[in-house]
Amino acid sequence: MDALSVSHLEKTYPAFHLRDVSFSVQPGRIMGFIGRNGAGKTTTMKSILNLVHPNAGSIQFFGLDMPAHEFEIKQRIACIFGAANYYSQSLLQTIADVYRRFYPNWDDALYRTYLQHFALDPGKRLKQLSQGMSIKFALTLALSHHAELLILDEPTSGLDPVSRDELLHIFEDIVDHEGASIFFSTHITSDLDKNADDILYIKDGQIIACEEKDAFVASYRKVDGLTADLPADLKTRIIGFHERKGEFSGLVRVTDARGVSGLNFTPADLESIMVCTERG
């Protein structure tokens, strides 16, 4: 049974339209959600959590319909939207004391472990924490009730590289040892290169890719070389074609690269795929 299944989700705002969004997050997998600013990532996440009302579509968590089973679903998931930017005057222990009451599976020992792991002092006020530390506190709360699915919007933004790496390892631990699933959006595609199993890519409110990450990345090649050496028929198929001083660069599908010689083809990564796709 999928941890999350979204079918034909639609949400219309005066200046934005989320169109026919369908995807599923399988148990024990990490799905990365990418797209440029304003593409619809947060709207998608808010829609599946019933924070905004979709115009159409169906959403199921663990086979349960949302919003009919909202209460039960929210006890089994954890959500973070950016840093913990709430109740800045309150002590961390006060916020945790309130938060834990809502989750029957709250694990106090696990909570203390994460506090220690992230070097968080529960006697501090939230406003005394840096952006990175407040993200860690938000994660500490989210991770301490054995959630079966974590929905995280930009969880790694604002963290230093060491903390990001730490966090990614924690994600892997949660998935590997607790069998939980993670659905997280980020601009830092290198994080997804490291540990995402699947990729969901949204552009202008529409899903343009939803597949296994390695297969998705392997289906593209970066290409560069002299413009003079570029066959005319290939030029039209290059994604994100960029030319300067007689040299070009871009992205091609593996199928388009076959049989072409004289150009430099290298493996693509998520960042180059996203940048070139957005460049058009």
Partner 1 sequence: MKNLLYKEWKLAIHPTGYIFLLFGVMLLIPNYPYFVAFFYQTLAIFFTFMNGNTTNDIFFTALLPVRKRDVVKARLGAVIGLEVLQMLIAVPFAILRSQIIPTENLAGLDASLALFGLVFIMFGVFNVVFLPQFYRTGYKTGTPYLLATLVMTLVIVAAELVIQLTPALKQALDTPACTLPQIIVLFAGLLIFALLNLVAYRRSASAFERLDL
Site of interaction with partner 1 (CB under 8 A):
46, 49, 51-53, 70-75, 79, 81, 85-90, 94-95, 97-99, 101-103
118: left (phi over 0), alpha (psi -120 to 50) or beta: alpha
* Vertex 63 angle, CA 217 and 193, to 5°: 20
Q: Which is nearer to partner 1, 53 or 177 (CB)?
A: 53
Amino acid at 65: D
Cβ neighbors of 191 (< 8 A, separation 6 or more) are 32, 156, 164, 168
Pairing of strands 149-153, 181-185: parallel
Q: Which is nearer to partner 1, 87 or 265 (CB)?
A: 87
Share of the chain residues as helix, strand and coil, in percent rounded to the nearest 5: 35, 30, 30
Q: Which is nearer to partner 1, 70 or 211 (CB)?
A: 70
Q: How far is the CB of 74 from partner 1 (least distance, A)?
A: 4
Q: How far is the CB of 222 from partner 1 (least distance, A)?
A: 39
Q: How far is the CB of 5 from partner 1 (least distance, A)?
A: 20
Q: How far is the CB of 137 from partner 1 (least distance, A)?
A: 13
Q: Which is nearer to partner 1, 44 or 189 (CB)?
A: 44
Q: Which is nearer to partner 1, 181 or 272 (CB)?
A: 181
Cβ neighbors of 278 (< 8 A, separation 6 or more) are 36, 203, 240
Q: Which is nearer to partner 1, 155 or 240 (CB)?
A: 155
How far is residue 183's CA from residue 200's CA, in Å, rounded to a whole number? Answer: 9
DSSP codes, 109-139: HHHHHHHHHTT--TTSBGGGS-HHHHHHHHH
Q: How far is the CB of 236 from partner 1 (least distance, A)?
A: 42
Q: Are the C-beta atoms of residues 227 and 206 closer than 8 Å to each other?
A: no
- DSSP three-state, residue 87: coil
How far is residue 80's CA from residue 139's CA, in Å, rounded to a whole number? Answer: 7
CA distances from 273 to 27, 103, 264, 268 (A): 26, 40, 16, 7
Q: How far is the CB of 250 from partner 1 (least distance, A)?
A: 39
Q: Which is nearer to partner 1, 5 or 47 (CB)?
A: 47
Q: How far is the CB of 98 from partner 1 (least distance, A)?
A: 5
